[in-house]
Structure 1
Amino acid sequence: MLLKDEVGMLQRIPLFRGVEPAKLKLLAFTSDRVSYGAGQVLFRQGDEGDAAYVILSGTADILVDSDQGQIKIAEAEPNSIIGEIAILCNVSRTATVRANGPLETLRIRKDHFLRLLREFPEITIEILRVLADRLSRTTAELIDARSTKS
């Protein structure tokens, strides 16, 4: 895929909509295009958070370890970003991510991701929105799970 195609894909991602094309071109150039096959793991819960991933095509399961084994908590779809929590919070990975089928990603190294946030505060705000939405959904699911136990 050509660099301009990757820039076009990045422009379709809500997180990067406000970023000028020249900066997206630099981001695409400094990022790695990584392909995965069905069942391949992008990263595991507990791993060091060294990069964030943008899903370009395909889907991936987001899994957490529990006493009963791994539990699927979400599915990452095209134009979503994953792995940013470990980078932002400087903690180990909070989940395992596994490709459902052929998966194309753009891997953004931690240093590039953090530089992007410093240069574009609007991206930081959008990430806060994404994280707040995830927290809201998780809270609703926990409330629902507790009410069904009662």
Structure 2
Amino acid sequence: MSLTSDIDLLKQVSFFNDFDNDQLRLLAFGAEMRAYRAKQVIFRQGDLADSGFVITEGQVRMTISANGFDVQSQILGAGSLIGEMALMAETRRSAMATAIEDVRVIQIRRVTFRRVMDEYPDLAAIIHDRIAGRLAGLVGDLELVRSKLGNDSEEVMSLEEVESFVQRDH
């Protein structure tokens, strides 16, 4: 793919909505194209994360496991960003990513993303505010769950029950 086509693809990813062409060009210029074969693991749950991936072709299965069992699975396709938190902070992968079919991705390393944020502090402030708003929403959802259970409740909800509860009440 060319730099221009990479920029065009990044424009379609909602996370990059606030980026202008120069910012996307810098991001795309520092990114790497990667290809994975069908059934190949892109990364494993718990791995250190230093980059995000934008799927350009194919589909990826994201799987969260707990106690040796797959508890949640999602399929992502072209235009999806995987690992957005890894662009901003040192973290571990919260899920395993496996290519369902042959897949091509644009890999954006945290160092490249931070370089763009350093060169465009106004953009960094926008991204910061967006993430702060999402975290505030998450905290609100968790507080709602806690209040519904009661402070003294010993009842434990599964991840599926919490998700169902939050979706039902919102």
Q: Tell me, yes or no, whether TM beats 0.5.
A: yes
Q: Is the 8 A contact 1:117 1:124 kept in 2?
A: no
- 1:117 deviates by 4.0
> What secondary structure, in the 3-state scheme, does the structure 1 residue paired with 2:23 have?
helix
Give 2:161's match in structure 1, choosing from 127, 130, 142: 142
Q: Deviations over 1:77-116 (max 9, x none)?
A: 2222111234544222111111111211110011112333
Over 3 Å counting, the alpha-carbon distance change for 1:38 and 1:71 in structure 2 is farther
Aligned to 1:9: 9
Aligned to 1:78: 78
Same amino acid, percent of matched pairs: 27
TM-score of the aligned structures, taking structure 1 as reference length: 0.77
Aligned to 1:57: 57
Aligned to 2:90: 90
- Give the distance between the partners of 2:130 and 2:113, measured in 1 at CA: 14
Over 3 Å counting, the alpha-carbon distance change for 1:19 and 1:127 in structure 2 is same
> What secondary structure, in the 3-state scheme, does the structure 2 residue paired with 1:52 have?
strand
Residue identity opposite 1:105 in structure 2 = V
- Give the distance between the partners of 2:10 and 2:116, measured in 1 at CA: 13
Task: Compare 82-91 and 28-37 and name the one that shifted more.
Answer: 82-91
In structure 2, the gaps of 5 or more residues are: 146-158, 166-170
RMSD: 2.9
- 1:133 deviates by 8.3
- Give the distance between the partners of 1:134 and 1:34, measured in 2 at CA: 33
Task: Mark the structure with the bigger radius of gyration.
Answer: 2
Which structure would you say has the larger RCO, counting Cα contacts within 8 Å and 6 or more residues apart? 1
Q: Is the 8 A contact 1:52 1:110 kept in 2?
A: yes
> What secondary structure, in the 3-state scheme, does the structure 2 residue paired with 1:116 have?
helix
Q: Is the 8 A contact 1:31 1:106 kept in 2?
A: yes
TM-score of the aligned structures, taking structure 2 as reference length: 0.69
> What secondary structure, in the 3-state scheme, does the structure 2 residue paired with 1:70 have?
strand
